[in-house]
Amino acid sequence: MDVSEPQPQPHVVILPFPAQGHIKPMLMLAQLFCNNANFYVTFVNTHHTHNLIHKLINKTNFKRLFPTLRFEAIPDGLPPQHPRSGPQVLDIFFTMGFESKAKFKDVLTGLHQQEEWSPPTCIIADGIMSFAIDVAEDLHIPVITFRTYNASCTWLYFHIQNLIQQGEIPFQGDDDMDRPIACIPGFESLLRRRDLPSICRLEDAQNPILQFYITQTSAMTRASALILNTFDELESPIISKLGSLFPKIYTIGPLHALFKSRTTHYTESDSSNGSLREQDMTCLTWLDSQPSKSVIYVSFGSVATLTRDQLLEFWYGLVNSEKPFLWVIREGLLLGDDTVVETPAELEVGTTESGCIVRWAPQEEVLTHRAVGGFLTHSGWNSTLESILAGIPMICWPQLADQQVNSRCVSELWKVGLDMKDFCDRSTVEKMVRNLMEGKREEIMKSIAGNSKMACDSVKEGGSSYCNLEKLIEDIRSMRSTTKNIAHVGNE
């Protein structure tokens, strides 16, 4: 072969788990590949999320900016009327099985057979979508796993089986929750029972959800590398420990900041931030009318839910704190029969005077607005990372998955916020808001300012995440020679 012959651009297939917290960073990576490396990218959603994204993006602008990014869809195994949110989102764990795997394989073999783009060079699969690793092995396509948790929680999940063997889990929600957990290397003096992932509070070690995470985490080590949406300076000791499990680790976060630092000549409407909900931009106008650093922003993400009583306790706490608040109360936030809440008169008055409630907010813009001084959050990793980057201290009220671990790191490891897990009575909410905005603010602000600077520096040219993205791009380019002759695989 003539070595001077132009080589086709790599073609990366990306498969996220169908939830906003997973789609957002993986779609940002897809856009970076297209914009900065000229890669072809096929982004594979479920039919449900595929339809939601296409309703929200400006297709003309998006295609102009990312001409080498296209979307495919596979089934998630759920009926159309399934809500796919709240506690029921877990149903997808057990329905994205045989049918999804078979359809994903069909997508890949179809990409091999079309002539417009080069065949898939590699697959980047969500860390809880291990069927993609099975398919990649069948088709002899290199696969990289992308865990949308941080390094700390990813490391902890690799020790869940050991926690079971040590008798530390499972436990009930009222069983000595402040008991120290000392058997996870690197976290010997950090974690308590209440700081472990929510799945550790299940009654039975054989619970299918707990076993699902154990199986998925183990499968990740079959991938050739690990991608994390974090930055070296924040989690260096734990990233080093993960190096014992993966031959290569690419820490490329905060991805939303890396994308903005490396993408020019675009507006927010040109790209997609992975939101599956329409954003209410009017809250930015409300923020414009508020004093600098005065507002507490409140959002519990896209999955967590509240009971009616919890919502009222938060509401009273916010009003009683006498701080202006911007609160996201999305559709589906309230559980089941609690969807109708009669608002007490004093809360209506308090909200009219100092509050703003929206269905969904443009969170990145909110956190960087001059009026915002604190964030009451569910401690999802995207929200945590966005808050650190923006230099906004947090009050953490975690509910699911990695959120308990994140909130402990926020309060005790990085010292950029306060941890309110397992409590939300109105007096506690009021006290926490006052502490964040007044009492402990100076101490916390010093710490978050330093972490914010490190996050900003990591995505600049020469920064750790900037360089790690370059390494990832270079390594994917080197995969071309091993995948160029496998187009026939899958028809055998």
Q: Which residues are catalytic?
A: 22, 126
Phi then psi for 414, rounded to 5 degrees? Answer: -95, -20
Q: Kindly state the tokens that stand for 377.
A: 């959050």
Handedness of CA 62, 64, 68, 74 (dihedral sign): positive
Counting beta carbons within 10 angstroms of the beta carbon of residue 412, is it exposed (0 to 12), middle (13 to 18) or buried (19 or more)?
Answer: middle
Handedness of CA 163, 158, 129, 455 (dihedral sign): positive
Q: State the Cα–Cα distance between residues 151 and 11, nearest whole angstrom.
A: 27
Q: Kindly state the tokens that stand for 176.
A: 């000595």
Give helix 308-321 / helix 426-434 axis angle, nearest 10°: 40
Q: State the Cα–Cα distance between residues 448 and 385, nearest whole angstrom.
A: 11
- Would residue 111 be called left, alpha or beta, if left means φ above 0 and alpha means ψ between -120 and 50 degrees? alpha
- Residues forming beta bridges with residue 355, ordered by sequence position: 325
Q: Kindly state the tokens that stand for 433.
A: 């808001």
Nearest Cα residue to 112 out of 491, 489, 460, 487: 487
18: part of which helix (H) or strand (E)? none
The radius of gyration of the chain's CA atoms, rounded to the nearest angstrom, is 22
Q: State the Cα–Cα distance between residues 27 and 60, nearest whole angstrom.
A: 17
Helix (H, G, I), strand (E, B) or coil at 67: coil
Query: How many residues would you count in the chain?
Result: 492
Q: State the Cα–Cα distance between residues 179 and 61, nearest whole angstrom.
A: 53
Give helix 20-37 / helix 255-262 axis angle, nearest 10°: 30
Which residues make Cβ contacts (< 8 Å) with residue 116, sequence separation at least 6? Answer: none
Q: State the Cα–Cα distance between residues 155 and 177, nearest whole angstrom.
A: 21
Residue pair 287/295 in contact by the 8 Å Cβ criterion? yes
Q: What does DSSP assign to residue 87?
A: G
